[in-house]
Structure 1
Amino acid sequence: MADKGSVFLLGPGFIGLEILGELLREGYQVTILVRREEARADLEKLGSKTILGSLDDGDTIREAAAAADIVIHTATADHKPSAVSILDGIGARAKTGKSSIYIHTSGCSLITDDSNGEYVSEKIYEDDKPETVDSVADDAPHRSIDLAILKRRDALGAKAKISIVLPPVIYGVGKEHRLSIQIPTMVRFALKHGYAGFAGKGKSVWGQIHVSDLARGYMTILHYMESTSGEKVLENPYFFIENGDEYSWKRCAEEIGKALQQGGKIQDPTPREISSDLYSDLFQEWSVAVIGQNARNRANRLRALGWKPQEKSTFESLLSEELPIILAEKGDFKGYGAAVAS
């Protein structure tokens, strides 16, 4: 298989491993930033190279970014130093006359509102209208990192082809039986408390995407950037990736309740609003922000490039794939405390 260029990938997790499989299948040379020594062997068996380090290792990231044709950051949407280090590496590479591609993962929390589940918003963000995304407040979730990237993007110009991807609710089973965050956390809450619940009033909606369709979306974006001039890429940095389905958080709780009742895990499938004193078993003080607001968007650009979703729907996947893994988990669930990318 012909060499298709070198890639530096940050974040070999739920999203990153899925993208890694696509990259290796197409013949890209991939180097991955790995936090733990014990994780290196398995990644190298797949055919990638590894560099030991964390997102705080600025020099390591700068050097790897400067050496790579392509950088893809899927580790987190909320670590500004790592994004800045990537941009520093791209800047150093540009000084030698070499261009770069950088795909950064943000998330649809960027476009959430303050509905608290009271209503379905009529506001729909479309990625072929970048001004709608640029209209969000500077202090919106993820926005400070995105703005730092956009500022450097303007300074670097056509030598740096930079895109920002904003995934919605991600679902499905990834490599190594990895699961996503939002809906699985709601399932674990229901198992612990005996009912399926939602934060806020439950009426707000988010779009959906299976992790495999998401990875293929990243590859479509990559191929577009490879075949398009830097000047053209500069016209619009944003890509949404959604499969056409939108569900309210109450609907998600309803489906979780039905699935758990069918499995004999709860008696009453009727969803309920979760009281704030139980948010510690969801997303702590961020519970309403994560599973209580609207985030409506359309992936017009990807569809125009020929990308189409292929995987099961959210609740088909939950019932047949994710739920068996969650039911096999051991230990007392105590909520989700890490950063939430989407």
Structure 2
Amino acid sequence: MRIFLTGANGFIGGAVASTLVADGHAVRGLVRDKTKADAVAAHGVDPVIGSLDDAALLQAEARASDGVVNAASSGHRGAVEALIAGLACSGKPFIHTSGSSIVADKAMGEPSDRIFHEDTPIEPEPERVARVAIDRLVLGAPGIRSVVLCNAMIYGNAMGAPAQSVQIPVLARQARESGVARYIGRGLNRWSNVHIADVAALYALAIAKAPARSFMYVESGEEALGEVAQAIATRLDLGAAQSWSAEQAIAAWGREKATFSLGSNSRVRGKAATERLGWAPQHRSIKDWIAQELGRGLNDP
């Protein structure tokens, strides 16, 4: 297939592009400049220089493709609208990247028993309402094989992707710079998680055979953020991880990241990927990966 992919030099997009190329697809990847174009070209991607604000370009690329993967900003509604317009009533696949922070709370280190399955109604915090609306826009697009992949916390090293994931590098960098690994509050908040290689494999399966209007959580494990911080501390030989107050965490990481990425609960369970697509994740433990692989390869924080 001829696939147009946004975010081709990003963490998710780079991994997905490499997997699709390895599977024999022809991938055209959106990048911002010549330097990034050269980088993705080295991995077999035909670069398209532009931005998510270039609606005409996105429509044209979508129209000329056999399918689209949006692996750039999950919150850029204008880009999504342009891609949908280019694919409208074509029957082609459109894989949109979402994230499980859409179900995150504001627990700041406290636990939650609430677990979201794919049929659980979502009532997002006000800061996530717009993202949920974009997911619903994709799923309701007429005449498109629309799929929303809602990724949990992603970890791992992505060959072909110079970018990094979100939570683990932030925690590891802070720990290295200060000499103390930190979690927020009691560190009992939990996030589902998934390895980037398993994420990329699922995108390839979704392009090939996901049914229209599919919403799938992408997860293969779960861990408390306090345990993640301790695993980082152990890996870096820093002793015991220690708590930060909400105020300290916000001052260091910013309100958005502290609240929704590191202090919240985001507990999801996804059956659709395994039952409908035969997805079989190869990685099940984020703590094992931290113990064995943190600090190696392109995702070195």
TM-score, normalised relative to structure 2: 0.90
Q: Cα distance 1:83–1:116, how it changes in 2: closer, same or farther (>3 A)?
A: same
Matched, 1:107 2:99: yes
1: CA distance between counterparts of 2:135 and 2:216?
15
Which residue of structure 2 lines up, in the alignment, with residue 15 of structure 1? 12
Q: Cα distance 1:41–1:192, how it changes in 2: closer, same or farther (>3 A)?
A: closer
* Greater C-alpha radius of gyration: 1
Which residue of structure 1 lines up, in the alignment, with residue 274 of structure 2? 303
SS at match of 1:46: coil
Matching residue's letter, 1:144 = A
2: CA distance between counterparts of 1:175 and 1:189?
24
Q: Is the 8 A contact 2:156 2:299 kept in 1?
A: no
Q: Is the 8 A contact 2:58 2:79 kept in 1?
A: yes
Q: Deviations over 1:127-149 (max 9, x none)?
A: 2x2xx1x43238352x4244245
1:178 Cα deviation (Å)?
A: 4.2
Which residue of structure 1 lines up, in the alignment, with residue 226 of structure 2? 250
SS at match of 1:202: coil
Q: Deviations over 1:242-300 (max 9, x none)?
A: 11x21111111111121222xxxx3x324222452453432445312211111111110
Number of residue pairs the alignment of both structures matches: 298
Matches within 5 A, 1:159-308: 159-176=143-160, 178-225=163-210, 228=211, 233-234=212-213, 237-243=214-220, 245-261=221-237, 266=238, 268-274=239-245, 276-304=247-275, 305-308=277-280
SS at match of 1:212: helix
1: CA distance between counterparts of 2:177 and 2:124?
37
Unaligned segments of structure 1, at least 5 residues: 330-342
1:308 Cα deviation (Å)?
A: 1.3
1:320 Cα deviation (Å)?
A: 2.8
Q: Deviations over 1:314-342 (max 9, x none)?
A: 1222233232469987xxxxxxxxxxxxx
Q: Is the 8 A contact 2:109 2:183 kept in 1?
A: no
Matched, 1:147 2:133: yes
1: CA distance between counterparts of 2:173 and 2:130?
32
Q: Cα distance 1:152–1:14, how it changes in 2: closer, same or farther (>3 A)?
A: closer
Larger fraction in strand:
2
1:122 Cα deviation (Å)?
A: 2.0
Which residue of structure 1 lines up, in the alignment, with residue 117 of structure 2? 126
Which residue of structure 2 lines up, in the alignment, with residue 72 of structure 1? 69
Which residue of structure 1 lines up, in the alignment, with residue 25 of structure 2? 28
Q: Cα distance 1:317–1:138, how it changes in 2: closer, same or farther (>3 A)?
A: closer
Q: Is the 8 A contact 2:102 2:131 kept in 1?
A: no
Q: Cα distance 1:41–1:63, how it changes in 2: closer, same or farther (>3 A)?
A: same
SS at match of 2:21: helix
2: CA distance between counterparts of 1:35 and 1:327?
21
Q: Is the 8 A contact 1:205 1:247 kept in 2?
A: yes
TM-score, normalised relative to structure 1: 0.80
Q: Is the 8 A contact 1:83 1:145 kept in 2?
A: no
Which residue of structure 2 lines up, in the alignment, with residue 337 of structure 1? none
Q: Is the 8 A contact 1:188 1:326 kept in 2?
A: no
2: CA distance between counterparts of 1:328 and 1:222?
29
Q: Is the 8 A contact 1:35 1:53 kept in 2?
A: yes
SS at match of 1:106: strand
SS at match of 2:295: helix
